[in-house]
Structure 1
Amino acid sequence: MLGERAPIAAVPPLPPAEAAFERKTPAQIAVRLGVEMALGRLRARRPLLALGLGVSLAVAAAVIEVAFGSSGAVDRALLATFRLVTPLTVFALAADAADRTTLREAAWPAARFGASSHHVALGIALAAGLSAALVGALLAVVVVAIAHGPGAAPLVRDVFTSGWIGALTGAAYAGWFSLGATFLRRGHGRFVPLAADFLLGGSAGIVGALMPRGNAVNLLGGPPPLGLGQPASAGLLALGALLLALAAAARCKE
């Protein structure tokens, strides 16, 4: 009939994924953007080459130690990997996650459109930590698989133990490098914790307890820093990885 209004069509509900996205706070969206940016950078050619080089060095360390004798080869190869290969590989990946610049500048592509640089930086640091944990576990597992001999502990137990130690160590290194990337131009401050770990990370004092290397060596059965027990070293690595990522993000506040 003339003058009657057409019925208003019902608005279809949002798909579950889009509805969940709509419910996220601006902070959650900014963190997610940071994670996606970092993971996208880590899928590029350069970080993949760095990962390949790290795995190759870990394989070489295992083969060399086996050549010197199968007895204790796993422990020696793991120590060599955790002292040199893991920090260098994680250093390269953490730098690429931050686009080889400061953490604040790495967050700018999203922050310039209104996202909080603090939360975007937190997403980048968390993604770097998660990726480093996976890489640390991978390097440790590769070493155990190659260097494992008939006189060693059961393979499954060795793989599991070395894997979680590698994961904690990798995440802790990433936390230090993310925090270092908030200092100096182009994030060159990340070289400071790398140098400190190489020079003082194996000490028995407080620096050895703060840096990843000393705690990783303790978990592998080496001398503990400050006489710490292995559970304390594991807790320091896990807590340090989280607190350092938060501290790095806090330095990127507007």
Structure 2
Amino acid sequence: MVGESAPIDAAPPVPPAERGSERGTPARVGVRLGMEMALSRLRARRPLLALGLGVALAVAAAVIEVAFGSSGAVDRALLATFRLVTPLTIFALAADAADRTALRDAAWPAARFGASSHHVALGIALATALAAAGVGALLAVVVVATARGPGAAPFVQDMLISGWIGALAGAAYAGWFSLGATFHRRGLGRFAPLAADFLFGGSAGVVGALMPRGNAVNLLGGPAPLGLGQPASAGLLALSAVLLALAAAARCRE
């Protein structure tokens, strides 16, 4: 009727998919901010010097092994690099990505403006893993290029195999160091997995299967922890890189 207002329809509820999208947008922003912040820190002078030192040590290891004999020099140099140079180099880079403090504190510059510290920390951990994978692959390729002799396997094949092993090991180390950075003041807990890898990473038991070094050595043709096959070691390295990054971020929830 004239003079009567038409009934106002109630606004339809937001579909679940849209609500999920709204929740997901801040999450993606937080992760992106964390990744950008970590990568910016890794472009500073100190981490670049650490990378240069790692490459120099890898070359030195390869040259020393060649001096002892070209036969098997690549394998020996790779083992030496994966046991010492790779974990130390990635440890330094992971510490710099987290601003040499606890992971939660490293996320604060973005979290204080409203981003979730959990999502920012996840971005930092993911960026650290990606950078560490690249560094691990680079160190392995440098060793192959320096130590290979006339009787070695084809260069491209050797480089690709060693490179992906280095990438897996590097990402796994980054996961451990990111999780360690959530313990103790200034993230000093990151020293615990480094020490555990040095002391027990080459063992044939459970710890050797959990730490990156034992699985990387297995992929290079060395002793296998717990008698694992190479596909199992590769899967453990990849899985630990992802799960440890998620665990590190989970410990940074508000």
Output the CA distance in 2 between the equivalents of 1:69 and 1:156. Answer: 22
1:63 aligns with 2:98: no
Helix, strand or coil for the counterpart of 2:150?
coil
Match of 2:36 in 1: 36
Match of 2:171 in 1: 171
Output the CA distance in 2 between the equivalents of 1:118 and 1:70. Answer: 49
Runs of 4+ in 1 over 3 A off after TM superposition: none
Match of 1:77 in 2: 77
Match of 1:8 in 2: none
Provide, for residues 53-111 of structure 1, a one-character-per-residue CA deviation record: whole Å limited to 9, x for no partner.
00000000000000100000000000000000000000000000000000000000000
Match of 1:217 in 2: 217
1:47 aligns with 2:41: no
1:136 aligns with 2:140: no
| Corresponding letter in the other structure for 1:183 | F
Question: Which structure 1 segments of 5+ residues have no match?
Answer: 1-21
Range with greater deviation from structure 2 (180-189 or 24-33): 24-33
Provide, for residues 136-177 of structure 1, a one-character-per-residue CA deviation record: whole Å limited to 9, x for no partner.
000000000010111111111000000000000000000000
Match of 2:230 in 1: 230
| Corresponding letter in the other structure for 1:39 | L
Output the CA distance in 2 between the equivalents of 1:214 and 1:23. Answer: 40
Output the CA distance in 2 between the equivalents of 1:112 and 1:174. Answer: 25
Q: Could you tell me how far 1:24 is from its partner in structure 2?
A: 6.8
Output the CA distance in 2 between the equivalents of 1:96 and 1:131. Answer: 12
| Corresponding letter in the other structure for 2:98 | A
Change in Cα spacing, 1:182 to 1:23, as seen in structure 2 (3 Å) is closer
| Corresponding letter in the other structure for 1:151 | G
Match of 2:90 in 1: 90
Q: Could you tell me how far 1:23 is from its partner in structure 2?
A: 11
Output the CA distance in 2 between the equivalents of 1:214 and 1:52. Answer: 25
Output the CA distance in 2 between the equivalents of 1:197 and 1:173. Answer: 9
Output the CA distance in 2 between the equivalents of 1:43 and 1:156. Answer: 29
| Corresponding letter in the other structure for 1:222 | G
Question: Which structure 2 segments of 5+ residues have no match?
Answer: 1-21
Match of 1:248 in 2: 248
Output the CA distance in 2 between the equivalents of 1:212 and 1:241. Answer: 10
Output the CA distance in 1 between the equivalents of 2:226 and 2:24. Answer: 44
TM-score by length of 2: 0.91
| Corresponding letter in the other structure for 2:176 | W
Helix, strand or coil for the counterpart of 1:233?
helix
Helix, strand or coil for the counterpart of 2:203?
coil
Q: Could you tell me how far 1:221 is from its partner in structure 2?
A: 0.2
Output the CA distance in 2 between the equivalents of 1:91 and 1:98. Answer: 11
Task: Report how many aligned residue pairs link the two structures.
Answer: 233
1:125 aligns with 2:125: yes
Output the CA distance in 1 between the equivalents of 2:211 and 2:151. Answer: 32
Output the CA distance in 2 between the equivalents of 1:52 and 1:39. Answer: 17
Helix, strand or coil for the counterpart of 2:115?
coil
Output the CA distance in 1 between the equivalents of 2:71 and 2:156. Answer: 18
Helix, strand or coil for the counterpart of 1:223?
coil
Output the CA distance in 1 between the equivalents of 2:43 and 2:60. Answer: 25
Output the CA distance in 2 between the equivalents of 1:40 and 1:216. Answer: 29
| Corresponding letter in the other structure for 1:253 | R
1:206 aligns with 2:206: yes
